[in-house]
Structure 1
């Protein structure tokens, strides 16, 4: 089953880390959990009504016919990925600060893989059912997908969203080697951001595939921006950190417009305004900055922790299983488009809760203990 690029990155445990000199414990950044869920719902809206392709087959026609006005807004949902990457930069810098490499590696593996493995098996099994019209990947390709390395190997993807996980893995590797391994401190993190920014720009200019593969010039600004915002979280008066954020935003909005904007053309599914693209990217940065500065500390509702926990498994399963749900509800049962849309999102959230409760809550700590030897 070859899937088109879609969109999000994997979440991490989002607990604010105080500066080294602070003795008191800082409460959990629940607003960041909420922002992650909003980004995931943006991506779901894009997949269900903001693009054509397999979802059009599920609806029995173009989503533009199902959502004559809303599909233009849904088309901006793909920018949820850029917001995810900014959040990831913030969280990975926070979780890697003061942590040895082995512990960092164990936390990433134990967080990424349990739900991912189950999602691979679940989607492969559902797509193999005779009543499902979508084609499953070969058994060999499905097994390779369990490694999360299918994209560089040129293997068909079980999950369309896994391209973002491949970007996340490369970011984790760069951060681990350059920051976590020698020991995270402000000077080293600033140097990492500066060197990666310059190297990514050089890679773009060089147009060398292997440099693009390593340095990810299209995605690097968002990860770097998130790292800069974590430095702001530690010290809001850090002018260098604000500079990192500003440069990353300037480059990031360029890539978003360059990849997503086109002149009005009736042959395209939808038209995205360049100003709206810039606005969505900017709002993502502003939202994370507001959290970093503590402006949203009052957004401390406990249910946001659960919402954050659902984000990753929801992200994994919502696209492909969403096709099946849309086809069953809309074409099978004849439900209206908006009812199908809402029930499909709800069904994927329920499935995400099941994965969180019965897979992640026991497998994640178990794997972490095994990898750390504790």
Structure 2
């Protein structure tokens, strides 16, 4: 593309270990919020148990916002040069194996150890079956684990970005997508058009869009346009901070707490992804971060209901801080086992099966009819059995002098 040159220090195919570090940090922050910020696991105010940690843990839900920025960055990076079929295969094989394992384990824990009533969001066991589709958020069915609400937000982002993949993932198309989604997210709250609000996701769109812009900086180079997109998304995100606090902390507590720590965390998140995009963290090559990044998703899937139930069960037998540390360590180990024993083998099989299915679709899809008069139009090509006519060349008049 004219005017766009790839920065030599940012190879698009190179693994970004710093991004893995950001992901696992965001996941642990969310764990801290659920185990210390919420009272569910302890049946008492956690301010009495964790007077120093609780003020920080109350803002741990912001790890989800950081996840969304990373998701915009990673999805744009992973689909570059791929088809819609490749995109679908990569997302399904990546998301569902660990998710199915998480649902099975969580449902069993909630069935056999139903100690915390706040964790039971299902009205009937058939809701577990619906949860296997990851579509329960659109059907009004309760989540097996409340943290799964973010997965439906991710699915809607994938559906939107599939439009870009369909047209071709290019610099220009990504910019146009960011602009169109920004306008839709701005208009959605005031139009009353529920379908637009459903897909535009005004509260979360700024993070995904910023992630896409950051990846374009990484793949090509930072420009005033890309910085402008990021700045606009950061400013738009500020409009929803108070509402997100109310959603996570309740009306009363959210009104008592200041919003500036949340705004600061969001700013730090933007700055960290910017540092990755600009290559400032490229020297971080710690191999263990690859494993840490890989277990981030399984950890997020299993940590809430199972972890809170464990804490609730042992809260009167183990001191609070050692109990939180032990349960967090147990969730990390369980996440690693899910990654190794379930996610890797099942993802491989799922990926192979889906690729065969997509190949079958391609083989059985008829070629489009050629336009009349084109080179591919059979009517414009002479029949194979009709020999070409010899061109009639008229002998020059002066040829008689050679006889």
Q: Which residue number corresponds to residue 171 of structure 2?
A: 186
Question: Is contact 2:10-2:218 (8 Å) kept?
Answer: no
2:137 aligns with one of 143, 151, 154: 151
1:123 aligned onto 2:123: no
1:91 aligns with one of 55, 63, 74: 74
In structure 2, distance between residues paired with 1:295 and 1:60: 45
2:34 aligns with one of 47, 58, 61: 47
Counterpart mapping for 1:288-367 below 5 A: 288-331=273-316, 334-367=317-350
In structure 1, distance between residues paired with 2:341 and 2:251: 47
Q: Which residue number corresponds to residue 375 of structure 2?
A: none
Q: Which residue number corresponds to residue 166 of structure 1?
A: 152
Question: Is contact 1:126-1:132 (8 Å) kept?
Answer: no
In structure 2, distance between residues paired with 1:51 and 1:23: 41
In structure 1, distance between residues paired with 2:304 and 2:266: 22
Question: Is contact 1:82-1:222 (8 Å) kept?
Answer: yes
Tell me, what secondary structure is at the counterpart of 1:161? helix
Aligned residues, how many? Answer: 348
Query: Under a length normalisation based on structure 1, what TM-score does the superposition of the two structures give?
Result: 0.87
Distance 1:66 1:368, change over 3 A: same
Distance 1:270 1:361, change over 3 A: farther
Give the C-alpha shift of residue 71 in structure 1.
1.1
Q: Which residue number corresponds to residue 377 of structure 2?
A: none
Q: Which residue number corresponds to residue 4 of structure 1?
A: none
Provide structure 1 residue ranges, at least 5 long, that are not aligned to the other structure.
1-17
Question: Is contact 1:257-1:278 (8 Å) kept?
Answer: no
1:114 aligns with one of 90, 97, 106: 97
In structure 2, distance between residues paired with 1:266 and 1:249: 24
Give the C-alpha shift of residue 50 in structure 1.
1.3
Question: Is contact 1:200-1:216 (8 Å) kept?
Answer: yes
1:29 aligned onto 2:12: no
Question: Is contact 1:66-1:337 (8 Å) kept?
Answer: yes
In structure 2, distance between residues paired with 1:366 and 1:108: 14
Give the C-alpha shift of residue 51 in structure 1.
2.6
Q: Deviations over 1:137-189 (max 9, x none)?
A: 32211100101011111111101111100000000000002x10111101100
Q: Deviations over 1:280-303 (max 9, x none)?
A: 001001001101111001111000
Give the C-alpha shift of residue 206 in structure 1.
1.7
Q: Which residue number corresponds to residue 8 of structure 1?
A: none
Provide structure 2 residue ranges, at least 5 long, that are not aligned to the other structure.
360-403
Question: Is contact 1:75-1:270 (8 Å) kept?
Answer: no
Give the C-alpha shift of residue 20 in structure 1.
11
In structure 2, distance between residues paired with 1:136 and 1:266: 21
In structure 1, distance between residues paired with 2:48 and 2:10: 57
Question: Is contact 2:70-2:211 (8 Å) kept?
Answer: yes
Counterpart mapping for 1:234-245 below 5 A: 234-245=219-230
Query: Under a length normalisation based on structure 2, what TM-score does the superposition of the two structures give?
Result: 0.81
Q: Which residue number corresponds to residue 285 of structure 1?
A: 270
In structure 2, distance between residues paired with 1:340 and 1:89: 35
1:372 aligned onto 2:355: yes
2:245 aligns with one of 235, 247, 260: 260
In structure 1, distance between residues paired with 2:25 and 2:204: 20
